[in-house]
Copies of this chain bind each other. A is one copy, B any other.
Amino acid sequence: MISIARSASAKHPARPGLLGLLALLLTWLLALPAAAEDGYDLWLRYRPLPAPVLKQYRDQGTQLVAPADTATQRAARDELVRGLSGLLGRAPALAAQARRDGAIVVGTPASLPQLAALQGELEGLGEEGYLIRSTRIDGRAATVVAANTDMGALYGSFHLLRLVQTGQPLAGLDLREAPKVKVRVLNHWDNLDRYVERGYAGESIWDWHKLPDWLDPRYTDYARANASVGINGTVLNNVNTSALALTPMYLEKAAALASVFRPYGIKVYLSARFSAPIEIGGLATADPLDPAVRQWWKDKADEIYRTIPDFGGFLVKANSEGQPGPQDYGRSHADGANMLAEALAPHGGIVMWRAFVYSHEEPDDRHKQAYNEFVPHDGRFADNVLVQVKNGAIDFQPREPFHPLFGAMPRTPLMMEFQITKEYLGFATHLVYLGPLYEEALRADTHARGPGSTVAKIVDGSLEGHALTGMAGVANIGVDRNWSGSHFDQANWYVFGRMAWDPHAGAEDIARDWARMTFSTDPAVVEPVVSMMMGSHQAVVDYMTPLGLHHLMGRGHHYGPGPWVEGGPRADWTSVYYHRADARGIGFDRTASGSNAVGQYAPPVAAQFGNLDTVPEEFLLWFHHVPWDHRMASGRSLWDELVLRYDRGVDYVRGMRRTWAALEGKVDTERHHQVAVFLGIQEKEAKWWRDASIAYFQTFSQRPLPEGAAPPPHGLEYYKSLQFPYAPGDGK
């Protein structure tokens, strides 16, 4: 069609026949299948900008000066061409130097001599930072993206595109950005058979069987999406892993993925099974102090780095939930981690050693066990070990107080582990934006070195002066066309990346960026969407586990309400262990009169949480067993407040449905429809949570429902009878 148009316009300028051509073009255009709005593009959705702002950006994107001599440079230039072509409706003219005002100039002092003058300004931006500045280059007004490295320039290119996508002016720019955290990784809980533990977006995107030969184009789009938010590493396999992931066949496959990710600055990591020396090495032991075992890991590391020269390192789940580990041999977590660290150190690799451990013997409140096991080893971990700590002490509940390990291991770099996939949060169909959860955890004050000792400062290393820092997110990615199982779950991948880059960033600002990039820059869309998102976390807390309740989900799969779950292999896998409801009241006494988990926090925090008068109401039943008639801040009794919180959660979802319904016509039909249906499921399930929970807890409280609260439509036995043997993601 281009050639037709060109020849027509060259030979027959502006004559009536052109109208016919135009009409033909239009009809063909309409006949072509429209690019489906199926969510595959994620936030890298480069649709044409609205006409009113188009000219402004075109004047500032007349040319693109961006070298393409390395793979990362090509990635940056390709992304800018793709993005600007889509957003501005025409491809930018590529040029070796700026010849007109309005050029976009991207590079490093090494790749573009024009940028040599900026050398001094780049100090302090490190290997991943960049600056974006409105300045003059080659005597022309230009927008410059400059960095010390190609990767910095790629990150800056994505930032520049984000500015255009979100409608920010490009005039007078003077931005400096560098990540505050060094290791920003996704943890894929993906098995080698493509099953994803706690995955609600379909099976694993890693098509192991066809690797290394077939490199699905999706792998490149995965890398683009991650680089666009600053994620620089990915652990390919589940923490509950087979040792086979470390065999040559799988290393070759991992190397193929690494080759796709490398230009985007993404390192490949692998989960390592601690007993691999036995299972694939033929040794009789995996004792970390055994010389043969140590040598086996050194040889394995050498082999891995021959295959993947920039391999990132190992993630390890040891002595937890049945996984093997150093304690099997009477050794400590530090012994285990340091053995692997020793093998990786010559190659620059790191160990991410998970602190999510709890004893098989249940000697104590599970809340306390990670602290008990790790604090004694503070200072004993090798320099290239990060201890990876979940945000809370139980397990990715809708709301948890911050993990007491934060602030308790000053001599050890602690890495944050957030869950992006919504294991305990209703799976893919519930709209829950996790930005507020992450923000709450990161802004929590540990008081470890006095007021202001936030979790964010521990994670970014600034509180204790650690250089090795990290944040991990358990991925919510699968083969579903929209990657994350729902359109709104894409925002959780996005906000994880942005907060890993800057743990002090604000959840609402990020939500606004995401909504603009993903749906529309129209404020009539953006503001309602951001508003829905920002309240959605509190809503799920309300309709599932209000006032500090936790771990009340169905057994195993964690789908739907199961506050009645009891029995089975261990008490701390039941609901009754956590809510402890009885005729007197409800809640887990973790004060000095109970398990004294509060004692693991710094004294000011312990004092606050341990006192019924000062504990925040959102953690009330987390730390205290409270009588049903306890007077709440609202003046209501605990029982009445509990019921009203459940109702409030349901009401919020109902409100989201109304808000979303009003956006019909402002959001494309395809995505609008799916979100609308999912919100319908969420309302149905929020009611189910409320009704089942109230039906159950009322058997203890023996109190009437407060005025205005509707009784559950079914008896308790109905709710208890519901079974979901094939709920997704439960590990089978």
Residues of A within 8 A of B (CB): 1-2, 5, 9, 13-16, 18-19, 21-35, 41, 48, 85-86, 88-91, 192-194, 202-203, 208-210, 213-215, 217, 242, 244, 427-429, 479-481, 670, 674, 677-678, 680-681, 684, 725-728, 732
Contact = CB atoms under 8 A, between A and B. Distances in A.
Contacts of A21: 22
B48 A28 contact: yes
A31 B16 CA distance: 26
Contact of A725 (B26, B244, B480): B244
A428 B2 CA distance: 37
A202 to B, nearest CB: 6
Number of copies: 2
A89 B24 contact: yes
A479 B677 contact: no
A23 B28 CA distance: 15
B9 A14 contact: no
Contacts of A427: 209
Contacts of A35: 32-35
A553 to B, nearest CB: 15
A14 B25 contact: no
Contact of A193 (B23, B428, B479, B726): B726
Nearest to A725: B244
A467 B721 CA distance: 45
13 contacts: A9-B22, A13-B16, A13-B19, A22-B22, A28-B89, A30-B90, A31-B48, A31-B86, A31-B91, A193-B732, A208-B726, A213-B684, A242-B725
Closest 6 A/B residue pairs (Cβ)? A33-B35, A27-B90, A14-B16, A192-B726, A193-B726, A28-B89
Nearest to A427: B209
Given A24-B89, A27-B89, A86-B33, A674 B19 contact: no
A217 B2 CA distance: 33
A25 B28 contact: no
A209 B427 CA distance: 10
Q: Could you say which of A26, A427, A681, A732 has the most chain B C-beta atoms within 10 Å of its C-beta? A: A26
Contacts of A29: 1, 25, 29
Given A210-B429, A214-B678, A41 B31 contact: no
Contacts of A24: 89
A670 B218 CA distance: 12
Contacts of A727: 209
A288 to B, nearest CB: 27
A151 B26 CA distance: 34
A213 B2 CA distance: 45
A681 B209 CA distance: 11
Given A14-B14, A25-B26, A31-B91, 11 more contacts: A9-B22, A14-B16, A14-B19, A27-B89, A27-B90, A30-B90, A193-B726, A213-B681, A214-B677, A244-B725, A244-B726
Contacts of A479: 202-203, 479-480
A88 B684 CA distance: 45
Contact of A203 (B13, B192, B202): B202
Nearest to A4: B51
Contacts of A48: 28, 31-32
Contacts of A34: 32, 35
A195 to B, nearest CB: 8
A428 to B, nearest CB: 8
A41 B242 CA distance: 38
Nearest to A732: B193
A512 to B, nearest CB: 24
Contacts of A244: 725-726
Contacts of A680: 213
Contacts of A23: 5, 9
A558 to B, nearest CB: 13
A19 B25 contact: no
A627 to B, nearest CB: 39
Contacts of A27: 89-91
A5 B22 contact: yes
A90 B18 CA distance: 18
Contacts of A732: 193
Given A209-B427, A209-B728, A681-B213, A2 B30 contact: yes
Contacts of A193: 726, 728, 732
A723 to B, nearest CB: 8
Contacts of A22: 5, 9, 18, 21-22, 25
A215 B16 CA distance: 48
A674 B9 contact: no
A89 B214 contact: no
Nearest to A29: B29
A614 to B, nearest CB: 42
A11 B588 CA distance: 75
B2 A726 contact: no
Contact of A31 (B26, B89, B674): B89
A2 B26 contact: yes
A14 B680 CA distance: 51
A429 B726 contact: no
Contacts of A674: 214
A90 B31 CA distance: 6
A678 B481 CA distance: 22
A724 to B, nearest CB: 8
Contacts of A18: 14, 18-19, 22
